[in-house]
Amino acid sequence: MQRDAMPLNESTPATIRPAADAEMSAIARLAAKLVRQHHEADPARFMIFEPIEPGYRRYLSSELSNADAVVLAAIRTGPGGAEEVIGYAYGRLEPRDWNALREASGALHDIFVDESARNQGVGRALLDEMVRRLAKKGAQRIVLTTATGNAGAQRLFEQFGFRRTMIEMMFETSPKSPKPET
């Protein structure tokens, strides 16, 4: 097992570990699913630029060398020892934000588990490891946002001990113009 990896319980043959550059293409595919999920839920709120994967791969790869960032991979080992990325989480330390009236904190920006691995403890394990690592980096609190309609994620976060603090609201000042044909 890779150093610094956390195996899950025996019923979930997966390991949570710091992501490696070689895993970034698989993580970018999962990140793209997360972006598309948000965009489908509320296209006026969540932007989307296709193709998503190259941008996420580039960005998250650059965060691997950022001392304030944590990129985790959930790895399932299949028959014959083949490894598959089934989830990821991305967080980082953020400075004091006067506009948000928030002290310096850890921020969980992304957490996503592939549909084939949901309800098996993978999301909880990613969350637990992210909180542990951000706290180890000095975060005294962790903040996150979740889409209004994502009740499953909200349940996971609340069961973990997160509490609701703010509600984002949006108002469109002009009618949405049709997208140009490409």
User: pLDDT tens for residues 89-121?
Assistant: 999 999 999 999 999 999 999 999 999 999 999
The rounded distance, in Å, linking the Cα atoms of 164 and 149 is: 14
Which pLDDT score is estimated for 30?
A: 97
Interhelix angle 24-41/53-63, rounded to 10 degrees, is 120
For the segment 155-166, what is each residue's pLDDT rounded down to a tens digit?
Answer: 999 999 999 999
Distance (Å, whole) CA 143 – CA 64: 20
Residue ranges, the chain, pLDDT below 70 = 1-13, 176-182
Q: What is the pTM of this model?
A: 0.88
C-beta separation of 78 from 51 below 8 A: no
Q: What is the pLDDT of residue 9?
A: 54
The pLDDT of residue 3 is 40
Residue partners of 73: CB distance under 8 A and separation at least 6: 16, 17, 18, 19, 20, 23, 26, 27, 85, 87, 88
pLDDT > 90 fraction of the chain, expressed in percent and rounded: 82
